[in-house]
Amino acid sequence: MSLIKHNKYLIYWIVFVAALSGLLLGFDTGVISGAILFINKEFQLSAFGTSLIISSTLFGACISATISGRVVDYCGRRHLMMFNAILFFCGALSSSLVSTVQFLIISRTIVGFAIGISSYVAPLYISELAPFRKRGIMVGFNQLFIITGIFISYMVNYIFSFGEYWRLMFGMGMVPAIMLFIGLLFVPESPRWLVTNDQEHLARDILNMIREPYSNVELELFEIKESISEQRSDWRMFFKSWLFPAAIVGFGIAAFQQLVGINIFVYYGSTLFTFVGVEQTSSVMLASLGMGAVLLLFTIIALPLIDSWGRRPLLLLGSTGMMLSLLMLSITFEFLQKDSVLLTWFLFINVIIYLASFAISFGPIGWLIISEMFPLRIRGLATSLATGTIWGVNLLVIFTFLPLMRLMQLGGVFLLYSILCFLSLFFVYFLVPETRNVSLEHIETNLRFGKKSRELGE
């Protein structure tokens, strides 16, 4: 019998601290939406310059998410998050002190490096500590904090818009970075990582602290050790035929999370409202704040549904809602006159429907599916590659948005993304498994037995 005392609140503290990494991701993603209006004014940027500043963050995120997989498996989830808190702090500080566009691009690239690391290590860490029956809502809590970060960034943008203090908008990101670093001093390492690195006694102690008293900790340790002993080579596993269904689902979900177009509204939300004739900067910021509130509200609604309704129903519902709302936006911009009050209201209503649909589906569930799909031995590496896919596709979407808008007009762009939402619906229906109440080890067992991707949760 273990002498380590169970602490029923510890797992919630762990999830809260790890999710602060998601809050930073959301804040530094959303803050540029408001700041870019004043940056454009101060530096007289072209459309290309605007795209370059926004895309620099995504470029950094794409690189760090892709190359850091081995780092998280080498140094551990907790230590990498501590380093990342420092990176977030440095990026926010330098962004608040810039005097040239070049320095701003470098600073935002540093922030991008931190965002890329955060986007895979936080959900990975949470999924490896959470009990499998609560894994959905706990990993979803990270998405809730991402949306909370976006909402806070919009609120900060609104407050500082009256004085055009865009440097202070960036600088506020230092506060949650400090909170994250301090919080990480008081949380444990992932038991799965400890077992992988021959520290089973520490893993057992941690599991005894965070699992319910009736939980079979020894069985969980046995399942972890079994999954590790099956395969010791990371890269070779990517060429195993039995891993192909997991790769299709994991990388497919990663791509579609961005191909549905969510970050057009996150990064260019303020710009869209100025395009339809909203002239006052404070009104634009207030509209963006409303968008952030919708994302936050429906993410909260979605969290308990992930483990009660399941992943697939919410993904199907969300894809349908996004497809129809973008189709309506396309029709709206095709037939209504620019600068009309009716166009502004149609834009706002359909954007709300779109954001709500994303918030109950690909928002929280995308990260969750990625963290669930891959075997333990390559989970860090595979998750980083899938997250790199997210940021790579995000970079493509954001960098091409303004050129596409000039080429096709907004109506054509929204029609294009409506079609991509239809393809995401097709993908989820035929390929994505239901993994509700299924352990990570059971999913791996189904993979090894050659089950099809849609059957991995059975």
* Tens-digit pLDDT profile for residues 289-348: 888 999 999 989 998 888 889 899 999 999 999 999 999 999 887 776 666 677 778 888
* Tens-digit pLDDT profile for residues 135-187: 778 887 888 899 899 999 999 998 998 877 899 999 999 999 999 999 999 99
CA atoms within 13 A of residue 294's CA, in its CB half-sphere: 19
* Domain membership flag for residue 398: yes
> Mind giving me the DSSP string for 185-205?
TTSPPPHHHHHHTT-HHHHHH
CA 183 to chain centre: 21
Residue 433 pLDDT exceeds 60:
yes
* Domain membership flag for residue 5: no
* Tens-digit pLDDT profile for residues 275-292: 766 667 777 788 888 889
Q: Which domain holds residue 435?
A: 10-455
* Domain membership flag for residue 4: no
CB 292 within 8 A of CB 262: no
- 65 or 277: whose pLDDT is higher? 65
CA 307 to chain centre: 19
Alpha helical stretches, state H, 44-184: 47-67, 69-75, 77-95, 101-129, 135-161, 166-171, 174-184
State the pLDDT at residue 212: 77
State the pLDDT at residue 284: 78
Check residue 231 and report its DSSP letter.
-
* Tens-digit pLDDT profile for residues 252-273: 999 999 999 999 998 887 777 7
> Mind giving me the DSSP string for 20-32?
HHHHHHHHHHHHH
Q: For residue 434, count CB atoms less than 10 angstroms from its CB and return exposed for 0-12, middle for 13-18, buried for 19 or more.
A: middle
What is the sign of the dihedral through the CA atoms of 19, 267, 28 and 352? negative
In the chain, the number of structural domains is 1
Alpha helical stretches, state H, 260-375: 262-275, 281-308, 311-335, 341-359, 362-373
Q: Which residue in this structure is represented by tokens 């969290």?
A: 303
* Domain membership flag for residue 414: yes
State the pLDDT at residue 448: 81
Residue 379 pLDDT exceeds 80:
no
CA separation for the pair 187, 185 (Å, rounded): 6
* Domain membership flag for residue 2: no
CA separation for the pair 132, 445 (Å, rounded): 15
* Tens-digit pLDDT profile for residues 212-257: 777 778 888 888 887 666 545 456 667 778 888 888 999 999 999 9
Q: What is the band of 4 on the pLDDT scale with cuts at 50, 70, 90?
A: low
Question: What predicted TM-score, i.e. pTM, was given to this entire model?
Answer: 0.83
State the pLDDT at residue 3: 46
CATH number of the domain within which 258 lies: 1.20.1250.20
* Domain membership flag for residue 3: no
Q: How far is CA 195 from CA 97, 151, 308, in A?
A: 44, 38, 31
* Domain membership flag for residue 435: yes
The predicted model gives 361-366 an average pLDDT of 90
Q: How far is CA 184 from CA 60, 197, 336, in A?
A: 24, 20, 52
The predicted model gives 29-49 an average pLDDT of 88
Residues across the chain = 458
Q: What is the band of 380 on the pLDDT scale with cuts at 50, 70, 90?
A: low
Q: What is the band of 56 on the pLDDT scale with cuts at 50, 70, 90?
A: very high
Residue 163: CB atoms within 10 Å: 9
The predicted model gives 366-386 an average pLDDT of 79
Average pLDDT, the chain: 87
State the pLDDT at residue 70: 75
CA separation for the pair 76, 72 (Å, rounded): 5
* Tens-digit pLDDT profile for residues 113-139: 999 999 878 988 998 898 877 877 888
Q: How many helices (H) and strands (E) does the chain have?
A: 20, 0
* Domain membership flag for residue 1: no
Among candidates 126, 378, 128, 373, which has minimal Cα distance to 252?
Answer: 373
Q: What is the band of 2 on the pLDDT scale with cuts at 50, 70, 90?
A: very low
* Tens-digit pLDDT profile for residues 99-108: 999 999 999 9
CA atoms within 13 A of residue 79's CA, in its CB half-sphere: 9
